[in-house]
């Protein structure tokens, strides 16, 4: 397993970080800790510890919370409609 210190995901060997193959966010979610993920208008996926709010072209968390750019460490396909990309993660 490969552990992502940012989103808490325990990735199986076939989901290696930076393997230059895009995966769908749904493939990653079962391995992530409780929180939220959302894709900005530019196709970049983010992990949020608390519920983010939609802005003009991105999602934003309020207050001091954990948020990490998943697209920096894993090649994730962009959402078809970024405004409907918010997903609650209930595992872990």
Q: Which domain holds residue 17?
A: 2-89
Query: Among residues 22, 15, 20, which one has the least CA distance to residue 78?
Result: 22
CA-to-CA distance for 2 and 48, rounded, in angstroms? 20
CA-to-CA distance for 50 and 63, rounded, in angstroms? 10
* More reliable by pLDDT, 72 or 45: 45
- At 2-26, the pLDDT tens digits run 445 555 555 554 444 445 678 999 9
Residue 56 pLDDT class (50, 70, 90 cuts)? very high
8 Å CB contact between 25 and 37? yes
Q: How many domains does the chain have?
A: 1
Tally of CA atoms within 13 A in the half-sphere of 4 that contains its CB: 25
């Amino acid at each position: 397993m490969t552990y992502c210190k940012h989103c808490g995901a325990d990735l199986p060997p076939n989901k290696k970080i930076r393997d230059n193959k895009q995966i769908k966010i749904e493939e990653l979610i079962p391995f992530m800790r409780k929180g939220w993920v959302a894709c900005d208008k530019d196709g970049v996926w983010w992990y949020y510890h608390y519920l983010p709010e939609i802005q003009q072209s991105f999602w934003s968390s309020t207050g001091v919370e954990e948020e990490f750019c998943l697209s920096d460490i894993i090649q994730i396909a962009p959402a078809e409609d970024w405004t409907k990309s918010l997903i609650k993660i209930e595992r872990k």
